[in-house]
């Protein structure tokens, strides 16, 4: 049985607000990587210490600093100090069960998203927190584990394909959010395939196992829902364009992600309705099979019970039973049984049970 997603949510209780504690599972992954680019050149470095990123940020080019491994709390703390991030923002970065949200001050924009992965073995949707801080000419991204979700972005910067290198840091933020939302469609396609297989099972070959599949899919869809619904509000805020760090002509891009997010929500709700509908189909097929079973039992029992009774009567040992001595007593009794049996069959035919 998988662990519920809302476990460990409580272990910061009693701590003063702004206490920096990483609430996820500790991993060995740890890396600070910086990419510094404009439309003409780019460079890429792995850093030992977060201080090393400061010269990049002072350059007029766009800097993207990706931090993997949130158990290194002191790194997050230093970033907070250098870039003047609010203590509650740092806390949200480290509290990896955070609901998607956006927070902005005059100097930066802070976004929390949930990246979803589909575990092919357990057929479970897992979610991981990704935080981003957009400043004047830099973007920080914070990940728990080293996963390759952002690799296509790095690839585009290196090859100068797409619009990233032609735009400012706000476009980079857009590209990063976009790739996470695109990934939701991959998850949905996998769940969609599962729903399709389930549908076939329910219609052609229903067994109690389908209820467990339905239950698992419902849980996965609840998990998705919890991750995606708040994203809608996040993008509503980003679209409102009230922030000083997003340029006016980048707004249409954020509107595009908003559009995709609503499409994801639509699909999730449709899949929920379909899965709920499949439970109804399954339950009605269970009822029907029960009907079928009972009909067979009733037909057999109802035909033979009276016949067995007749046989029982002529199996009694009374001394004075005239029928027993009749020449055609036996064939007559058999005839009686046949008539009773045929009447029963006619009755069932009328009831359309046969």
The least CB distance from residue 45 to a second copy, in Å, is: 23
Nearer to a second copy, 74 or 319 (CB): 319
Instruction: Pick the piece of the chain touching Mg ion (CB under 5 A) from 76-84, 160-168, 262-270, 320-328.
Output: 262-270
Nearer to Mg ion, 276 or 283 (CB): 276
Q: Do the beta carbons of residue 194 and residue 275 sit within 8 Å?
A: no
Q: In sequence order, which residues have a C-beta less than 8 Å from that of residue 23 and are 6 or more positions away?
A: 8, 9, 11, 12, 94, 95, 96, 97
Q: Do the beta carbons of residue 96 and residue 128 sit within 8 Å?
A: yes
Instruction: Pick the piece of the chain touching Mg ion (CB under 5 A) from 20-28, 68-76, 146-154, 267-275.
Output: 267-275
Closest by CA position to 116, among listed 254, 231, 210, 259:
231
The least CB distance from residue 219 to a second copy, in Å, is: 7
The least CB distance from residue 309 to a second copy, in Å, is: 5
The residue ranges of DSSP E strands in 105-255, in sequence order, are 109-119, 124-134, 138-143
Closest by CA position to 139, among listed 37, 238, 49:
37
Selected from 41, 269, 292, 323, the binder of Mg ion by CB under 5 A is: 269
The least CB distance from residue 129 to a second copy, in Å, is: 13
Under rule CB under 5 A, residue 280 binds Mg ion: no
Under rule CB under 5 A, residue 58 binds Mg ion: no
Closest by CA position to 278, among listed 345, 216, 324:
216
Which does residue 166 bind out of Mg ion, a second copy, none, counting CB within 5 to 8 angstroms by kind?
Answer: none
Q: Do the beta carbons of residue 32 and residue 72 sit within 8 Å?
A: no
Task: Give me the residues paired with residue 102 across strands.
Answer: 111
Binding residues with Mg ion: total (CB under 5 A): 3
Nearer to Mg ion, 190 or 272 (CB): 272
CB-based closest residue to Mg ion: 269
For residue 62, what is the enclosing H or E element? strand 62-68
Which does residue 8 bind out of a second copy, Mg ion, none, counting CB within 5 to 8 angstroms by kind?
Answer: a second copy
Instruction: Pick the piece of the chain touching Mg ion (CB under 5 A) from 55-63, 275-283, 288-296, 335-343.
Output: 275-283
The least CB distance from residue 264 to a second copy, in Å, is: 9
Nearer to a second copy, 57 or 133 (CB): 133
d(CA 158, CA 44): 9
Nearer to Mg ion, 41 or 266 (CB): 266
d(CA 113, CA 99): 8
d(CA 125, CA 217): 9
Residues that bind Mg ion (CB under 5 A): 269, 273, 276
């Amino acid at each position: 049985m998988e662990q519920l997603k809302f476990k460990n949510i409580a272990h910061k209780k009693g701590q003063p607000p702004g206490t920096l504690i990483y609430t996820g599972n500790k991993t060995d992954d740890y890396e600070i990587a910086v990419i510094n680019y404009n439309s003409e050149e780019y460079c890429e470095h792995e850093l030992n210490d977060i201080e090393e990123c400061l010269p990049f940020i002072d350059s007029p080019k766009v800097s993207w600093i990706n931090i993997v491994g949130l158990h290194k709390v002191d790194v997050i703390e230093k970033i907070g100090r250098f870039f003047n991030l609010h203590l509650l923002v740092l806390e949200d970065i480290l509290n990896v069960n955070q609901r998607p949200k956006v927070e902005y001050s005059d100097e930066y924009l802070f976004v929390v998203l949930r990246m979803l992965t589909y575990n092919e073995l357990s057929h479970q949707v897992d979610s991981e927190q990704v935080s981003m801080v957009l400043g004047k000419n830099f973007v920080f991204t914070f990940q728990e584990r080293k996963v390759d979700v952002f690799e296509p972005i790095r690839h585009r910067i290196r090859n100068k394909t797409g619009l990233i290198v032609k735009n400012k840091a706000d476009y980079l933020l857009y590209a990063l959010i976009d790739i996470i939302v695109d990934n939701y469609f991959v998850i949905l396609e996998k769940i969609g395939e599962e729903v399709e297989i389930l549908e076939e099972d329910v219609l052609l070959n229903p067994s109690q196992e389908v209820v467990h599949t339905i239950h698992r899919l419902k849980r996965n869809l609840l998990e998705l829902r919890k991750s995606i619904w708040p994203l809608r509000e996040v993008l509503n805020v980003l679209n409102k364009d009230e922030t000083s760090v997003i340029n006016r002509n980048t707004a249409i891009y954020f509107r595009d992600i908003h559009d995709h997010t609503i499409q994801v929500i639509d699909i999730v709700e449709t899949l929920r309705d379909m899965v709920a509908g499949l439970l109804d189909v399954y339950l009605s097929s269970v009822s029907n099979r029960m009907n079928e079973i009972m009909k067979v039992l009733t037909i057999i029992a109802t035909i033979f019970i009276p016949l067995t009774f007749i046989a029982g009567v002529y199996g009694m040992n009374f001394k004075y039973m005239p029928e027993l001595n009749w020449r055609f007593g036996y064939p007559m009794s058999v005839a009686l049984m046949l008539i009773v049996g045929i009447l029963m069959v006619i009755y069932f035919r009328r009831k359309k049970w046969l």
